[in-house]
Structure 1
Amino acid sequence: MSERFYLYDDVEQTKTRFVSFMGEQQRYDLAIMQSDRYYGKSLVMDIQGGRFAVIGQDDLEEPGYLEHVYKLKEEDAQELRDFLSEIV
């Protein structure tokens, strides 16, 4: 067996917030992880949907971004966008 080639192998302290809230049409169960790794952005994990993305304020302003990443309808994505705008 050949020697493993690592691109990186870092250990970092993180701040993780677990939050669940009910929107108009669906429930959101999220884990929001903050560290120095992503240049001030947060790793937002949709626990039920099994999807995640690195999100900052610029990503929230990008049309269609949350809809694409989390496979949401436009109105559901707006609820998530409103919530995330308060914390990222």
Structure 2
Amino acid sequence: MGERFFLYDDIVQTRTRFVSFMGDKQRFDLAIIQSDRYYGKHLVLDIQGGRFAIIGQDDLDEPGYLEDVYKLDEEDAGELREFLYEVI
């Protein structure tokens, strides 16, 4: 293997919140990561589902965004959206 070419290799301080809550039909286990990256948006990891997205207020307002990223139905996405509005 030749010399490794890095596009970037940064170490940054983050603030991570681990939260679990029960919706009407499903449990949400999330890690919400804040850093100076991603233009003020948060990295939201669905720990059980193995999915993640970089989310800001504008993304929460985008119809169908959470449904698509986290493979949720409209009701479950609504519960997640309501929670994320409170913390993002």
Aligned-pair distance for 1:41?
0.4
| Counterpart mapping for 1:6-85 below 5 A | 6-85=6-85
Aligned-pair distance for 1:75?
0.5
Structure 2 unaligned runs (5+)?
Answer: none
Instruction: Return the alpha-carbon distance in structure 2 between the equivalents of residues 28 and 84 of structure 1.
Output: 12
Aligned length: 88
Secondary structure of the residue aligned to 1:82 is helix
Q: Percent identity?
A: 77
- State the superposition RMSD in angstroms: 0.4
TM-score when normalising by structure 1? 0.99
Secondary structure of the residue aligned to 2:68 is helix
Instruction: Return the alpha-carbon distance in structure 2 between the equivalents of residues 2 and 47 of structure 1.
Output: 35
- List per-residue Cα deviations over 1:42-78 (Å, max 9, x = no partner): 0000000000000000000000000000000000000
Instruction: Return the alpha-carbon distance in structure 2 between the equivalents of residues 37 and 2 of structure 1.
Output: 30
Instruction: Return the alpha-carbon distance in structure 1 between the equivalents of residues 85 and 40 of structure 2.
Output: 14
TM-score when normalising by structure 2? 0.99
